[in-house]
Homo-oligomer: A and B are copies of this chain.
Amino acid sequence: MFYKRNHGPIPVLENYSLFRLKVGGLAPNHCSLSMDEIKQLPKHTVVATLQCAGNRRTAMSLSRKVKGVGWDISALGNGVWSGARLSDVLNMVGIPNYTKVSSCGGKHVEFVSVDKCKEENGGPYKGSIPLLQATSPDADVILAYEMNGEELNRDHGYPLRVVVPGVIGARSVKWLKSIDIIAEECQGFFMQKDYKMFPPSVTWDNINWGSRRPLMDFPIQCAICRPEDGAYLEEGSKVTVQGYALSGGGRGIERIDVSVDGGKTWIEAKLGQGLKSGHGYIPDDDDHRDKWAWVLWELSVQISSPTDILAKAVDSAANVQPESVESIWNLRGVLNNSWHKI
């Protein structure tokens, strides 16, 4: 049930025992690691939601046509990821934790896949993150070889993928072949000519890709999963409304507001998944589960039918979702986090 997105055909690893991850570039040392060597590093597990920047794109296209693969509310998934910490691997090439600039002038960490993409003229998919994030153990960036307690499968990047929590899925490069420490951010197509957000006034005729930063952290997001849009509900019946909420950059979920009367009145939903439910907040001093994982929520409520049900969330930095999709419309249809309505 976990969404799948790739820009080139899914590669087949010919011989697992010959696999080696190359780590090089602007680092004091270089190295090449077999899967066995990677598995000998301390195993770190992170519960993190990966979300495609195109999640909920279809709804944005209803307002005005956008370009991109159509997704409803499910271009995301929550997983238990295990692997080596990227910071531990970077220590092996002489870069200590919490480094902003390496002694050789490196400021970014580039991840290169083994796949072949049309947009890269047959070259591999790639992306980068800042070196400080890569070397901060608290950012929980891992080189994952397990997903939900099982060996990573081909669709999700076997034998090795990056998981960058709190950041759009495009940076969690699958089928990882090499890691390069570089001076400037990755110049690949998917960093520089895609996955950027433009104002509504920018069209395919006046677009200037160089004018924007690559998307990294995603904003506060929330969607209703049950009931489904258009479902038949008996007048006056009690319904359990359920959904997910998440925010990027390690920000937690403060609350979710649900309306069953089209937005006139709002009721706070209960948080599930081991979080304190209802009116109990998650103390900031623990690594609360909503740091990187979605929060599932629900609300049992009597409803009139037909009606519009809406949901919107607030994150721990008090960021809220925009009411309408028009104000955030952009030609690539990325990051639609407007109030979800069914």
Residues of A participating in the B interface, judged by any CB pair closer than 8 Å: 97-98, 100, 107-108, 130, 132, 136, 138, 184-185, 197, 199-201, 208, 210-213, 215-220, 248-249, 251, 254-255, 257, 265-268, 279-285, 312, 314, 316-324, 327-328, 335, 337
Q: Pick the 7 closest A-B CB pairs, nearest first.
A: A211-B279, A217-B317, A107-B285, A219-B318, A319-B319, A219-B319, A213-B281
Which residues of B are found within 8 Å of A211, using beta-carbon distances? 279-281
Q: Are B320 and A184 in contact (CB under 8 A)?
A: no
CB A181 to nearest CB in B, in angstroms, measures 12
Which residues of B are found within 8 Å of A97, using beta-carbon distances? 98
19 A-B pairs, CB-CB below 8 angstroms? A98-B98, A132-B138, A184-B283, A184-B285, A185-B285, A197-B314, A199-B257, A201-B266, A201-B267, A211-B281, A213-B283, A216-B316, A216-B317, A217-B317, A248-B317, A249-B317, A318-B337, A322-B323, A323-B324
A249 to B251, CA, bound (A): 10
CB A166 to nearest CB in B, in angstroms, measures 9
A185 to B251, CA, bound (A): 18
Q: Are B320 and A200 in contact (CB under 8 A)?
A: no
Given contacts A185-B283, A212-B281, A215-B318, 9 further A-B contacts (CB under 8 A): A98-B138, A130-B284, A132-B138, A201-B265, A212-B254, A216-B284, A217-B251, A218-B317, A323-B327
Q: Are B208 and A318 in contact (CB under 8 A)?
A: no
Q: A130-B284, A138-B100, A199-B266 are in contact. Are A217 and B185 (CB under 8 A)?
A: no
A215 to B97, CA, bound (A): 29
A197 to B337, CA, bound (A): 21
Which residues of B are found within 8 Å of A130, using beta-carbon distances? 284-285
A323 to B325, CA, bound (A): 11
A268 to B97, CA, bound (A): 39
Q: Are A266 and B320 in contact (CB under 8 A)?
A: no
A249 to B136, CA, bound (A): 16
Which single member of B213, B279, B321, B337 contacts A254 (CB below 8 Å)? B213
A184 to B216, CA, bound (A): 32
The winner among A184, A248, A254 for most chain B CB atoms within 10 A is: A254
Which residues of B are found within 8 Å of A337, using beta-carbon distances? 318
Residue of B whose beta carbon sits closest to that of A201: B266
A333 to B244, CA, bound (A): 28
